[in-house]
Each structure stands twice: as structure tokens, then as C-alpha cells.
Amino acid sequence: MKHLMDRNGLGFWSEKEVRLEAAHLLDQADAVVHERSKQVTPFLSFSMREWIETVLSKEHLAIKAEGGFPEAERVRILIGPQGEPLKSEDANVSLLWVLPTDSRVQLEHRQILGSLMGMGFKRDVFGDIQAGQKGQYIATATEIVPFLLGHWTQAGREKLKVSLCGEIPDLYPDSGEERRITVNSSRIDAVIANAFGVSRSNALEWVTRGKVSRNGLRVSKADTEVQPGDTISCRGQGRIKFLECSQTRKDRTAWQIVLFRSKRP
């Protein structure tokens, strides 16, 4: 099949694995144009979503994002020919409700995702994992739901009860705390330390251990500088939305942020 989508934009991605993911999305867009039929992407990170939506909008293709949750970070993109009406249900996203059989246990994000990866699944068939009043909810590709309902019975040492969520999930409210912080520089380790109230060495350790991502992509360098509009996620801690910055009289950088701490009942 002849490539119709411009491949020059793949140079935006430095990592080979991510570049291959982006190339596959362009292949799907090519299929839409050639076959005049809809395509559904895997679940995409925030940054990959922004990239492919920009590419597809220039090609005037119809697109619709669906992640199962309001304002989901990880979504599937439904792609159709120009002018094609797209429905959310066509993205084939389902929500599963996950509870430990022991009511005294509180499941964590890493336990849930780790158990799914241990079953041989790739990350791109799962969307966000969000905590609720009655357990954890996970967005997943509808095509693997029957298997999960029949075989996903354990996360680590904890036995699970897994069911299809047929109603609006009772998620904890995601009301962030708007704050103003001042830092000597906008390095990612400096702003993380200030926002979460930890030492600079702790923030550096989070980065080196792969716990920090910027707009959905893992950060490997502590001297990466944040920009207005960035969302920084720190696994196990929460995330920071950077709104705007200014200089203080003492030549420090003042950031207006929204801090979302991890929800732990």
C-alpha cells in the first residue's frame, strides 16, 4: 500500500520504539484514505495523541478521542474519512471495575498494571487506571474484556473480583490545588521538589528511576525544563499542571501550578 501520510514528521520522535508506534498510526491513517473505512488506534499517551491529532487534522480526516473517563490522559483515536460521523462506542473502550476480595486491602495502580503486564498484555491495550469510592477502574480495549473477566483473578498476592462497569464510575473528585511556587530555575527536578515539598535529591531519584513523565513521555534528564501547559506526572505522588510563569524581583521564576496529589483513602 502506497504511503499517503507524510513520514517526515516521524523525526520528531528520538526513541526507535516510539517512532515505530507513530509510524503504525500513519499506516492506519493511510488505510482510512485507501479503503474509506474507520480505524481505531491503540491507547495513546498524551504526547502521542497531540502529535497524531495534529497530523490528522492537516489531512482533514475525521477524528474522535475516547478514553472511557472524562478528560482521560490515555485515549484511543477513532479515525474516519473526511465528514464521516464518528461515535464514541465505535472506539471500543470498556471500563472494568476491580476490587480485592479482602476488603481491608487497598489496590494500587502499579499492582493492577503489573499484573496485567505479567499476563502478557502490552500497555497500549489499556487506558487510565483511576481510583473510586468502591475500588479501582481501568479503561481497556473491548476486544480483550471477555478474556480478562475469565482469567484476571489476581494482582500480586491479592485475589481480585473483576466485573464490567455498567454505570458511571464513582471516581474520587479530581479537584487540584492551585498554588504559586518560586524556584531558582525551571529544571524538572527543582519544580517537582518545590511542588511536592521534598528534597531536590528525592526529586532527582524519581527522575533517574523512571517515575517522572512529561506530557505522557518518560523524562530521563533532570535538567529538562518545564514549559507553560506541561503536565508532569510523578508515579505514586501525583501530577502538576503548569499554567504560567513570571520573574520575581529577586530574579527567581514564579510558577502558577495546579497540584493533583495521588488519591489514597
HEC readout, 146-186: HHHHHHCCEECCEEEEEEECCCCCCECCCCCEEEEEEECCC
What's residue 161's pLDDT? 94
Asked whether the whole model's pTM tops 0.75, one would answer no
What's residue 107's pLDDT? 83
Residue 252, pLDDT above cutoff 70? yes
pLDDT digits (tens, 9 = 90+) for 45-56: 877 888 898 888
Residue 147, pLDDT above cutoff 60? yes
DSSP code string of 71-109: T-SSBEEEEESTT----GGGG-EEEEEEEESSTT----H
The number of folded domains in the chain is: 3
pLDDT digits (tens, 9 = 90+) for 24-64: 999 999 999 888 889 999 999 877 888 898 888 888 888 99
The string over 17-37, giving b where at least 16 C-beta atoms fall within 10 Å of a residue's C-beta and e elsewhere, is ebeebbeebbebbbbbbeeee
What's residue 199's pLDDT? 94
Same domain assignment for residues 151 and 196: no
CATH number of the domain at 241, please.
Answer: 3.10.290.10
Domain assignment of residue 28, yes or no:
yes
Among the candidates 164, 195, 216, a domain finishes at 164
What's residue 47's pLDDT? 79
Residue 239, pLDDT above cutoff 90? no
Domain assignment of residue 169, yes or no:
no
User: Which 8-state DSSP code applies to residue 252?
Assistant: P
Same domain assignment for residues 186 and 239: yes
More confident residue, 118 or 250: 118
Domain assignment of residue 2, yes or no:
no
HEC readout, 196-246: HCCCHHHHHHHHHCCCEEECCEECCCCCCECCCCCEEEECCCEEEEEEEEE
Domain assignment of residue 111, yes or no:
yes
Domain assignment of residue 34, yes or no:
yes
What's residue 265's pLDDT? 38
Q: Indicate the residue type of 230.
A: D
Instruction: Residue 155: give the domain boundaries.
Output: 93-164
Contacts of 28 (CB under 8 A, 6+ apart): 39, 41, 79
> Mapping DSSP to helix (H, G, I), strand (E, B) and coil, where does residue 59 land?
coil
Same domain assignment for residues 102 and 80: no
CA distances from residue 246 to 123, 181, 256, 257 in whole angstroms, order as listed? 38, 11, 9, 12
